[in-house]
């Protein structure tokens, strides 16, 4: 989420090369995602690692409509909703493990 797609790619590649990330998301169109995947593969990043990239980020039902409606408010709400769902899922999983 920087001012530069080249910088976004460099950050994604650096995070993927470390491999110790829990979540890596990117505000992106499907076209930008495809370009990043192609470039990450060319840089030698394994497909299994690339598959962990969440792009475009946001709620699936809203993300598909974002290709044509790129309202900042909708994008922000979609991303916030997605992150809240993920946080809730992690919290529920932690509670289940603690109860066992």
Tell me the per-residue pLDDT of 46-78, one tens digit each, with 9 for 90 and over. 999 999 999 988 887 765 554 555 678 888 888
24 forms beta bridges with 53
53 forms beta bridges with 24
C-alpha–C-alpha distance, residues 100 and 97, integer Å: 5
C-alpha–C-alpha distance, residues 94 and 72, integer Å: 33
* pLDDT (0 to 100) of residue 67: 53
- Give 10's pLDDT tier (boundaries 50, 70, 90): very high
Cβ contact 45:16 at 8 Å = yes
């Amino acid at each position: 989420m920087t001012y530069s797609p080249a910088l976004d790619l460099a950050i994604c590649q650096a995070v993927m090369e470390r491999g110790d990330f829990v979540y890596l998301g990117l505000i992106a169109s499907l076209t930008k995602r495809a370009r990043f995947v192609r470039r990450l593969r060319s840089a030698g990043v394994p497909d299994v690692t690339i598959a962990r990239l969440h792009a475009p980020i946001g709620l699936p039902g809203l993300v598909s409509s974002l290709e044509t409606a790129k309202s900042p408010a909708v994008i922000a709400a979609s991303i916030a909703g997605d992150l809240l769902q993920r946080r809730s899922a992690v919290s529920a999983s932690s509670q289940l493990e603690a109860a066992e």
